[in-house]
Structure 1
Amino acid sequence: MRLAVLKERRAAETRVAATPDTVKKLIALGLTVAVEAGAGASASMSDAEFAAAGAEIAPDAKAVLAGANVVFAVQMPEAEQRALIPRGALLVCVAGAFGDKDLVPSLAAAGIDVAAMELLPRITRAQSMDVLSSQANLAGYRAVVESATAFQRGFPMMMTAAGTVPPARLFVIGAGVAGLQAIATARRLGAIVSATDVRPAAKEEIKSLGASFVGVEDEETAKQTGAYAREMTDAFRQKQAELMATTVAKNDIVICTALVMGRKAPVIVTKAMVESMKAGSVIVDLASDAGGNCESTVPGQCITTPNGVTILGFNNWPGRISVASSSLYARNLLTFLTTFWDKEQKAPKLPETDDIVKGVMLTRGGSVVHPNFLPSQAA
């Protein structure tokens, strides 16, 4: 059985879906592994390292996909590459299915079985396969490092013979995996940190990391459960906006991480709030790929507003720490495949009744199988 590792082609994508270490483990399962030439270059993994691990190095997408039974990728391959994937092959990647209504039907028509790893259910036995958590953790860390670079006043309090440098005040919006890592990293750098989230459970998590909690607490927030926030009412958003306006204005750095699964990111930091910040302040928008939490964010760009606020809206934040993010992502995929590997048949076995399989499978056997993407739902 042949497993193909594609070179990523989408803009700003620097990660790779396998590493030399995971290649060795995939081969140990009984797979023949082929890696497209240059697939790991942006993550400091050479073709020679993959070859030394036992992989075949294929010159292009056509060669690597020829006869493939399983395909590993970071993002959904472009249409040109998808056309080369054999019918019946299993494609494991972050599919981005919510952003393209025509994608899932086209995958079914092509006969590609797709495991969309971003749809993995948040259950205990799936934690080691959770690509969103592994990547968000690194993104939260990177956000603080990038903000420290852009901020020209320093993070910790520094007392010198020439005077005292005050500590930076940093505010984190959204206390999911990325937000909590941002809090922890900023605290280690010596900043005074506060954070907000609409989920009640997040309050204690924020405080446990040494940050202060800022938030609207009412009957609506009490209904928020799970790893992702749900859409809030207009009344709540108004109360939240008033609180955010005063909080953003008194902070030096704001890190935005708020996402709603399958929807455009909510706008939390308005242009007026940006205008209220001091010159030299920094906003880091980790939600830029989903439109951004800051109204002034330009996705994919770093800008400075007329009042001197720097807004970092880079795309693909995990890709800005490509070696670590590739390593964790590759392990997530390896764990997924190993969990559903039939040792006797030396092939993946994906029981339709398994909660993880039900959660991630978009298409199977030429049909759309995920309940959120069935034709009746699309209509």
Structure 2
Amino acid sequence: MKIGILKETQKGERRVCISPSIAKQLIEKGFEVIVEDDAGSTSSFKNSDYEKIGAVVEKRGVVFKEAQVLVKINPFDEEDLKLVDDSHILMSQLFHKSHPELIKAIAEKGATAFSMDAMPRISRAQDMDVLSSQSNLAGYKAVILGAYEMTKIFPLMMTAAGTITPSRVLIYGVGVAGLQAIATAKRLGAVVEATDIRLETKEQTESLGAKFITVDNTGEEKAEGGYAKAASEDYIRRQKEAVNKSLFQADLVITTAMVPGRKSPILITEDQIKQMKNGAVIIDLAAAQGGNCELSKLNKTVIEHGVKIIGTTISPESVSTNASDLYGKNMLNFIKHLTEENKFKWDLEEEITDETLIVKDGIIRKNGKTE
């Protein structure tokens, strides 16, 4: 089986789907690896790094022509699909629930496609979960970006000229990104508070030394598979009331609340921003899906009412070397899971395969069944 590593073309993307160290492990498992020219250059991986471990570096068209499995991080775009045919098996984050037109286009090509963002949140799939591995880095980087953009330092500091009080950080959403943000902000010496619709995250928050702002979620849908559900308008109202005091005192706010396949919930309104501290910073990690802050704009910094609002995915592109290694490890484990003696098993009754296989031989699958 030949695995093709494609260069990411999405604006601002610096990662590569499989790093040389992971490509080496695939080759040791008996797979052939073909890498698009300069695919890893923005992650500090040279063509020669791939060639040293036995991979072949080729131009884009050759990779599509020779590889059976094509791997990316971001969804396949129109230019990619021009080169896709019914012999190809595509693997990337397809975000299929919010991109039905892409799934239809892949099906029309007669191809097969796995969506990495559809990985079930079960224990045996943890080492294949790209959303978790990348969100972990995003949570860390959000705090570092916030520290850079703030006009204050994080820790308590006692000097001859007086005492500097610690900064206050508020985090919305205690998933993978939120937990890493809490841990990073605490390590830097900030006073940290966090809130989440999932009350089961209270213990995790407190174990990291942060205060959990509790909001009664009676009547809300329970989270399934580790993913948050969309909150009701009543819950959002009650959350605002409970969190407002902390929000208005915060020097840095990080929002991470995303619901798969849906627009991000608005957690911070313009009216709330008007009451925040002058000079406060908001890092909105949900900006790609509309944003948790009413005034967020993707990949832009907006200053409104004295508050700096940065809408970003921060996606780990800013730490692309580590991010590429982690994503690649997820892909290695996923490919090993799907294959036996370097051939696909196609076990459609198995949960991981069933959930991630979105298109099979040009047929769109829904709810685990072929239509």
Which residue does the alignment assign to 1:242? Answer: 241
> What value does the CA root-mean-square deviation take over the aligned residues?
1.6
Q: Following superposition of structure 1 onto structure 2, how do residues 220-369 of structure 1 map, counting pairs within 5 Å?
A: 220-221=219-220, 223-224=222-223, 226-305=225-304, 307-343=305-341, 346-369=342-365
Q: Following superposition of structure 1 onto structure 2, how do residues 1-379 of structure 1 map, counting pairs within 5 Å?
A: 1-59=1-59, 61-221=60-220, 223-224=222-223, 226-305=225-304, 307-343=305-341, 346-371=342-367
> What percent identity do the matched residue pairs reach?
37
Distance 1:342 1:146 in 2: 43
Distance 2:368 2:249 in 1: 42
Distance 2:338 2:181 in 1: 33
1:193-212 deviation digits (Å, cap 9, x = unpaired): 00000111011111111000
Amino acid at match of 1:27: I
Distance 1:360 1:88 in 2: 19
Distance 1:76 1:351 in 2: 24
Tell me the number of residue pairs that the alignment of Structure 1 and Structure 2 aligns.
371
Q: What's the secondary structure of 2:328's corresponding residue?
A: helix
1:215-261 deviation digits (Å, cap 9, x = unpaired): 31142358445422212222222212222333211111100000111
1:64-102 deviation digits (Å, cap 9, x = unpaired): 111211111111121111221231321111012122221
How far off is 1:317 after superposition?
2.0
State the TM-score, normalized to the length of structure 1.
0.94
Q: What's the secondary structure of 1:114's corresponding residue?
A: strand
1:112-153 deviation digits (Å, cap 9, x = unpaired): 111101001111110000000000100000000000001111
Amino acid at match of 2:334: F
How far off is 1:349 after superposition?
2.0
How far off is 1:372 after superposition?
7.9
Contact 1:206 1:213 in 2 (8 A): yes
Structure 1, gaps ≥5 residues long? none
Distance 1:202 1:184 in 2: 14
How far off is 1:341 after superposition?
1.9
Contact 2:120 2:225 in 1 (8 A): no
Which runs of 4 or more aligned residues in structure 1 lie more than 6 Å from their structure 2 counterparts after TM superposition?
372-375
Q: What's the secondary structure of 1:51's corresponding residue?
A: helix
Q: What's the secondary structure of 1:99's corresponding residue?
A: coil
Q: What's the secondary structure of 1:292's corresponding residue?
A: coil
Contact 1:69 1:86 in 2 (8 A): no
Contact 1:200 1:224 in 2 (8 A): no
Distance 2:275 2:143 in 1: 21
Distance 1:302 1:322 in 2: 22
Distance 2:25 2:102 in 1: 31
State the TM-score, normalized to the length of structure 2.
0.96
Structure 2, gaps ≥5 residues long? none
Contact 1:299 1:313 in 2 (8 A): yes
Q: What's the secondary structure of 1:66's corresponding residue?
A: helix
